[in-house]
Structure 1
Amino acid sequence: MKRRTLGALLAGGLFAATAAMAIPVTPDPARDSPTNTIQISWSHTTRSNGYVDDTWWATRDRCAPDYLGERLLCDAVGLLARTTSRTFEVKMSQDMGLPLADRWGLMTAKNSPFIRSAHVETPLGLEAVLGFYRAALEKRGWTENDGAVVEADRAVVAFTTSDGPALLRLVRQDHTTIADLALRKPLAATALIRPAPGQVRLLLGNKMDEAADITVNERTIRLAAHAGEKLVDSDDAADKLPDSQKIDLLPGKYRITLQLEGSAAQQREFEVAANETWGLLVGPAGAPLPIRLY
C-alpha cells in the first residue's frame, strides 16, 4: 500500500512538474537578456618577421522562452554565458588595449601591425555610449581633439594617443548604437591592403559551411562556403583575395544585404570613411561581421 501510494505521489509529482514546465510565460525583456547565448572566435597569426595579428569576434543572442521549462533552461545557460562573456570582455580589453561598451550583441576587434580596432553593437543609447568611451579613453591617457561632431544619431570624435591617431565613430541605427574605435599605427603606411587615396576598400569573406550572397551598392557577390574566411588573419591573406571579393567604394553610407543559404536575409547600414579598409565576414546565422583592417 505504501509503495503504491509513493508511486502515485511520484507519478503525480512528475505529472505536475511536467505540466508546470509547459506553462506559457510572458516575455520579459529585462530577464530574457541578450546574454543568454554567446559565440566567440579568436585567431592568432605570427609572421616570420615577428609581427603578430590577433582577430576577435563574438555574438550574443537573446533567449526568448515561450514556456516555463524553456525559461529555466535559458536561466541556466544564461548564467554560464554571462560568466563566459565577462571573462571574454576582460581578456579582449586587456589584449587589445581598447574598452568594450556594455550590453553588446555583436563585437569584432583587430590588433595588427597596422591598426587596433573594435566594432561594437549595443542597444544602449548613443549619448550613454559616447559618455562611456570618453571616460574610458581618458583613463587610458588618450586626449580628445577639438572639433568633435555630436548629433542625435551620430558622433565622430578624434583622439591623440602615444601610439598614433585614433578615431571614435558612433551611429544610431534601428534601436542599436554602432561604435567603431580605431587607432592607426605608424606601420600602416606599409600595408598591402591600403585603399586608393580618398576611397574605401571592402573585402568579403564567408566563415560558414553554406554559400552566401552579399549585396553592396546594388551589386551582389556570391560567396562559396568558407570563401575568403581567413582574410582577416593577416595582411597577406587579405591581399590574396580574388578581385571578385574586393570592392572599392567612395566614403559614405551603404545598405548591405547578406543572405546565407537557408536563413533569412539580414540588412545593415554601413558607414565608412576615406582611406579605410574593412573586412566583412558572413558569421553565424548569416550575421554580418565588420572588421576594420586599415
Structure 2
Amino acid sequence: MKLRTLGILLAGSLVAATAAMAIPVTPDPARDSSTNTLHAGWSHTSRSNGDVADSWWAVRDRCAPDYLGERLLCDALGVLARAASRTFESKMSADVGLPLPGGWGLMTANNSPFIRSAHVETPLDLAAVLGFYRAALGQRGWTENDGAVVEADRAVIAFATSDGPASLRLTRQDGKTIADLSLRKPPVATAGFLPKPEQGRLMLGNRTDGAAIVTINERTINLAARAGENLANSDSTAGELPDGQKLDLSPGKYKVTLKVDGSAAQSREFEVAANETWGLLVGQDGAPLPMRLY
C-alpha cells in the first residue's frame, strides 16, 4: 500500500474517531488484541579485521479499546504498523537469513561472526509454528537430523546445513509459542562469550534510560541506565561487562523478572542449554529481549 493511501486512511480514521470517541464498545479479544504499534531497533558493528555483527529487536504493542473512536484509531494505526513490520521483517530476514513465523509479538535476531540466531514469540500454537519452520527450512535445503523431540508443549530439532550445524527449540509458555532458531558458524569466540564447560552463560544489559532490576531465581541484579546495552555487538564488548552481569548457569529453565523504573514488572521462564551463550536485554517498558550470542 502506498504511503499516500496510508496517510489518507489515517486522516479519515482520525475524523471518524473524533465523532465516535464517546461511544462505548463491547470488548472483543479476538479483534482488539491485534498488534498495532511496532517498537524496533538495529545495531551494526564493523571491526578492523572485517568482522561484521548485526543485531535486531522488535516488540509489538496490543490495542484494547474501550470506545468506538479508540477502536477506529487502533485499526488505522494497525494498518500503518503492519506495513512497517513487513518492511522490517523483509530487511531482517534478508540480512540474518532466517525465516520468521507470522503474527509474532516479540523478536530478536543476531548475525555475527559466530552465529545466526532468531528468537520469536508468537500466539500461534506450537504445531503451527513447527509446521512453518519445517516447511521454510526444508525449502532452504536444511536436513532434519534423527532424534527430534516433539511433544505437545515442546520441540527440539537439530539440522544439518551447508553452512554448519543448526537447531530449533520451541516451547509453549503463557499462551505463546517461543521459538529459538540458530545456526552456529565455524569461528570460536573468545572468553568474552564462552561459558564454562557444560554450562550456559547469560549476560545482562539495559537498553532503557531508567535503572532496571533483574531477578533470576531469587538472585537480584541492579542495572544502571544503559548498562551493557551493547553486549551483543562483539565478544570483546561482552568481555568488558562487570562480573555481576555475566552469569554461568547449569542447563535448565530459570524464572526471570524484569522491572524498570515507572513500569510494571514482567516475568517469564528462560531456558539455557549447555555451551550456549545468551544476552538478555531490558527493552522498552521492561520487555525482556533474549538474544542468542553463541
TM-score range, shorter-chain basis? over 0.9
Normalised TM-score (structure 1): 0.92
**Separation in 2 of the partners of 1:246 and 1:224?**
15
Which residue matches 1:180? Answer: 180
* Structure 1 unmatched runs, 5+: 1-15
Q: d(CA) in 2 for partners of 1:93 and 1:48?
A: 26
Deviations 1:179-230 (A, max 9, x none): 0001000003556311111001110000001101001122100001111111
Q: CA deviation at 1:35?
A: 2.4
Q: Name the residue aligned to 1:204.
A: 204
Secondary structure at the counterpart of residue 186 of structure 1: coil
User: Which amino acid in 2 is paired with 1:104?
Assistant: W
SS at match of 1:30: helix
Work out the CA distance in 1 between the residues paired with 2:243 and 2:257: 20
Give runs of aligned pairs for residues 171-250 of structure 1, distance below 5 A. 171-188=171-188, 190=190, 192-250=192-250
For residues 20-99 of structure 1, what are the structure 2 equivalents within 5 Å?
20-99=20-99
Distance of 1:18 and 1:59 partners within structure 2: 28
CA distance in 2, matches of 1:82, 1:19: 25
Q: Note the C-alpha offset of 1:76.
A: 1.3
CA distance in 2: counterparts of 1:293 and 1:125, whole angstroms? 26
Residue 19 of structure 1, CA deviation: 5.8
Distance 1:70 1:202, change over 3 A: same
- Indicate the residue corresponding to 1:11 in structure 2: none
Identity between Structure 1 and Structure 2 (%): 76
Can you list the C-alpha shifts for 1:250-288, whole angstroms capped at 9, x where unaligned?
A: 000000011111111111100111000000000011000
Q: Quick one: which amino acid aligns to residue 55 of structure 1?
A: S
Aligned to 2:141: 141
Query: Aligned letter for 1:63?
Result: C
In 2: Cα distance, 1:140 partner to 1:125 partner: 23
Quote the residue 1:10 is aligned against.
none
Residue aligned with 2:238, SS? helix
Are the structure 2 counterparts of residues 18 and 118 from structure 1 closer, same or farther at C-alpha, using a change threshold of 3 Å?
closer
Secondary structure, aligned partner of 1:53? strand
Q: Which has the larger radius of gyration?
A: 1
Residues 1:236 and 1:251: Cα distance change in structure 2 (over 3 Å): same
Residue in 1 aligned with 2:113?
113
- The answer to whether residue 280 in structure 2 is matched with residue 280 in structure 1 is yes
Task: Note the C-alpha offset of 1:75.
Answer: 1.2
Is this contact kept in 1: 2:189–2:235, CA < 8 A? no
> Quick one: which amino acid aligns to residue 214 of structure 1?
V
- The CA deviation string for residues 225-253 of structure 1, in whole angstroms up to 9 with x for no partner, is 11111111121111110111111100000
What secondary structure, in the 3-state scheme, does the structure 2 residue paired with 1:159 have? strand
- Identify if the C-alpha distance between structure 1 residues 242 and 227 changes in structure 2 by more than 3 Å, giving closer, same or farther: same
CA distance in 2, matches of 1:25, 1:188: 57
CA-based RMSD of the aligned residues comes to 1.4
SS in 2 for 1:76: helix
Q: Which amino acid aligns with 1:69?
A: G
SS of the residue 2:277 aligns to: strand
Structure 1 residue 18: deviation in Å? 5.5
Deviates more, 1:171-180 or 1:227-236: 227-236
Q: Match of 2:130, SS? A: helix
Q: How does 1:127-166 map to 2 (within 5 A)?
A: 127-166=127-166
Alpha-carbon contact 1:114-1:191 (below 8 Å) kept: no
- Matches of 1:73 and 1:289 in 2, distance apart? 28
Between 1:184-193 and 1:75-84, the stretch displaced more is: 184-193
Aligned mates of 2:191, 2:87 — CA distance in 1:
32
- Cα distance in 2 for partners of 1:66, 1:158 equals 46
User: May I ask how many residue pairs the two structures share in their alignment?
Assistant: 279
Give the Cα–Cα distance (whole angstroms) in 1 for the partners of residues 17 and 132 of structure 2.
Answer: 45
Letter in 2 for 1:41: G
- In structure 2, distance between residues paired with 1:202 and 1:103: 27
Choose 25-34 or 166-175, whichever is displaced more.
25-34
Q: Distance in 1 between matches of 2:257 and 2:113?
A: 31
Contact 1:34 1:60 in 2 (8 A): no
